[in-house]
Structure 1
Amino acid sequence: MQRRYIPIATIVAIMLAVAVAGYLNPVEEQEVPARVVMDNTGGRVIFNHQFHAEDYGYDCTDCHHDDIESDTFLSCGSCHPSEFNEQFRADHQKAFPSEEACLRCHDDVPEGELAEEDRPDTDSIPLRADAFHTQCMDCHEQDGGPYEEDACYQCHAR
């Protein structure tokens, strides 16, 4: 081998060793995700989850008002869709860990298609944007976060 290829081969070997070590020793799952990306029509929001939880000291249930016995919290869209359309009605039950979750909105665990009079009053369940704005803006107003008319773009990407 020519002498000029030795540094290149050494660097490639080191990179390969680092890649294999990283593959064999995966990072442990974090208890609190560092960031959560929320796509929406107002502009993507990159929510610094870890900062809000650790630096501000919020408890999980301050935002996730889940009272379902589960090891994980539900995503907001499980209960608060962007709109109550046929796709949400058909797919939302897949987001819940147990039938117990159904009782948050339904009187009984639904069996098949519901008659109109047996469906929950969706006017009383905020859509995802309304739920976020209420949740986020209330805390921002109380705790001094961005909260004015022109503060939207401190969270929403343009």
Structure 2
Amino acid sequence: MKNRYIPITLIVAVCLIAAAAGFLFPPSEPETPVRVVLDNSGGRVIFTHVTHTEDFGYECSDCHHDEIGQDKPLPCGSCHPKAFDEKFRKAHQKNFANTEACLRCHENVPTGPLAEEDRPDTENIPLRSEAFHTQCMSCHENDGGPYGENSCYTCHAR
């Protein structure tokens, strides 16, 4: 009767070892992010980095402008928020590895909370959805991707 517990014990031990190995040795992060889900009012868009880099030959800097002194491009939301609200104002400086990026929007590197008159003119900085749409549509128009009134649902989920 005790012999029947041996296979169960072995199976449980193997599963525990496999689970521990998964936590101790996580898979490496790919050099190019696989995909990004963009939620918006026109319908969710699944943007595949690999398709655009490997199949169409785009470089990261074609969309991310430049690396601003970092090892890899910044996520778009670092500079182009969903909204220029208090949450973004308090948290966005944590997205940058150094103060060089501050000078893209600020006259000087901020050292504390800014008075309203010292804040950048956010009217000239596109929100995330505007930046994506402008960037995507200009490439689609210039490079032959889906473009025009009847092509929205090629990228946007209904």
TM-score normalised to structure 1 length: 0.83
Partner AA of 1:130 in structure 2: E
CA drift of 1:28 comes to: 2.6
Deviations 1:44-98 (A, max 9, x none): 2111110100111101100111241111211111111122122211221121121
Gaps of 5+ in 2: none
Partner AA of 2:78 in structure 1: S
Paired with 1:106 and 1:48, the residues of 2 have a C-alpha distance of 32
Q: 1:104 maps to what in 2?
A: 104
Partner AA of 2:56 in structure 1: Y
Answer with 96-105 or 26-35: which moved more: 26-35
Partner AA of 2:106 in structure 1: H
Q: 2:93 maps to what in 1?
A: 93
Alpha-carbon contact 2:67-2:74 (below 8 Å) kept: no
Q: 1:39 maps to what in 2?
A: 39
CA drift of 1:151 comes to: 1.4
Alpha-carbon contact 2:80-2:126 (below 8 Å) kept: yes
Q: 2:137 maps to what in 1?
A: 137
Percent of aligned positions that are identical = 63
CA drift of 1:122 comes to: 0.9
CA drift of 1:27 comes to: 2.9
Paired with 1:91 and 1:22, the residues of 2 have a C-alpha distance of 32
Q: 1:149 maps to what in 2?
A: 149
Gaps of 5+ in 1: none
Q: 1:31 to 1:106 in 2, by over 3 A?
A: same
CA drift of 1:124 comes to: 1.0
CA drift of 1:22 comes to: 5.6
Partner AA of 1:33 in structure 2: P
Q: 1:30 maps to what in 2?
A: 30
Paired with 2:151 and 2:68, the residues of 1 have a C-alpha distance of 34
Q: 1:54 maps to what in 2?
A: 54
CA drift of 1:119 comes to: 1.1
